[in-house]
Amino acid sequence: MANSKYEYVKSFERENHLLPDTYIVIRVDGKGFHKFSKFYEFDKPNDEIALEVMNDAAHKIMEKYSDILMAYGDSDEYSFLLRRKCELYERREMKLCTLFASLMSTYYMFYWNQYHPNRPIVWNMIPTFDGRAIVYPNFEVVRDYFSWRQVDCHINNLYNTTFWNLVKLGLTPQEAEQRLMGTVSSDKNEILFKECNINYNNESEIFKKGTILVRDYENYRVQQEDGLSSRQKQRQEKIRKKAEISIMHVDIINDDTWWDSRPWLKE
């Protein structure tokens, strides 16, 4: 940029560099998707294609940035875990948040239009996402973070499944809401079973558990990051890029083996 007398205004800018040596989670969430899903007439409680669109968009982001080791998504949100030593954009918070949010928005639009050639996105109802970054000091909290999101997915899905099946039985949305007020999980399971003839356990795993994308190495060896030359770092990045991205809909709250068999997530 050429120097000018106006250059000084740049000094007003403030940049937050996310704490080094901590796990970064970036979460994006669709803006006003309650309305968005009504407008595009999503299947309720779960529109499978809309979930595919989210998963494809997140997968694409993960392919693009090898620093993302795993991602978890449900509904209109996705959380991306960046490795502890990540130096992407010097860990600049604004750069990362705005970038992830805009990538999600544009990829969402792209994949939506691929799945729905006859129902493309129209200008007055476009998908937009916000983004935030959170840093976590140790892996225990990272695991709790993902447990928190998966529990949230479960609670929302059980509620929505019961709600929409009551509506299908002929209750008005207000009546269904009233019926569910003050109920706990076992009550909802019972309503579904007795009144709607649905065994919640048989619902699709993607609805109950959400989607996990995780970078899986074939022959993983622990790598010491400190003191590596830039060439060695590049080689490591190449290995990360090569690792296959697995897609699954499984319990990650109680399954220690799932985490223990992927030691690179902690690195």
> In the complex, what is the shortest distance from the CB of residue 133 to ligand ATP, in angstroms, rounded to a whole number?
17
Q: Which amino acid is at 231?
A: R
51 binds, among Mg ion, ligand ATP, none (CB under 5 to 8 A by kind): ligand ATP
Q: Which stretch binds ligand ATP (CB under 6 A): 43-51, 100-108, 165-173, 188-196?
A: 43-51
Residue (18 or 153) nearer to Mg ion, CB: 153
Does 46 participate in binding ligand ATP (rule CB under 6 A)?
Answer: yes
| Interface characters, 46-75, with Mg ion (x: CB under 5 A) | -----------------------------x
Does 76 participate in binding Mg ion (rule CB under 5 A)?
Answer: yes
Q: Which helix (H) or strand (E) holds 259?
A: helix 256-260
Using alpha carbons only, how large is the chain's radius of gyration in Å? 21
Which residue in 48, 136, 65 sits closest to 104, CA to CA? 65
> In the complex, what is the shortest distance from the CB of residue 73 to Mg ion, in angstroms, rounded to a whole number?
10
Does 102 participate in binding ligand ATP (rule CB under 6 A)?
Answer: no
List 23, 33, 108, 146, residue binding Mg ion (CB under 5 A): 33
How remote is the C-alpha of 25 from its chain's centroid?
Answer: 10
128 binds, among ligand ATP, Mg ion, none (CB under 5 to 8 A by kind): none
Q: How many residues bind ligand ATP (CB under 6 A)?
A: 15
User: Using an 8 Å Cβ cutoff, are 73 and 79 in contact?
Assistant: yes
Residue (163 or 200) nearer to ligand ATP, CB: 163
Does 75 participate in binding ligand ATP (rule CB under 6 A)?
Answer: yes
Which residue in 74, 59, 23 sits closest to 246, CA to CA? 59
List 50, 71, 158, 252, residue binding ligand ATP (CB under 6 A): 50
Instruction: Look at residue 126 and give its three-state secondary structure.
Output: coil
What is the DSSP code string of 102-115?
A: HHHHHHHHHHHHHH
Does 104 participate in binding ligand ATP (rule CB under 6 A)?
Answer: no
CA atoms within 13 A on the CB side of 180: 23
> In the complex, what is the shortest distance from the CB of residue 2 to ligand ATP, in angstroms, rounded to a whole number?
12
For the beta carbon of residue 129, count every other beta carbon within 10 angstroms.
24
46 binds, among ligand ATP, Mg ion, none (CB under 5 to 8 A by kind): ligand ATP
> Which segments within the chain are labelled E, that is strand?
23-30, 68-74, 77-82, 129-136, 211-216, 244-248
Residue 138 burial (CB < 10 Å; 0-12/13-18/19+)? exposed
Residue (76 or 93) nearer to Mg ion, CB: 76
Instruction: Give residues in contact with Mg ion (CB under 5 A).
Output: 29-30, 33, 75-77
Site for ligand ATP, rule CB under 6 A = 29-34, 37, 42, 44, 46-47, 50-51, 75-76
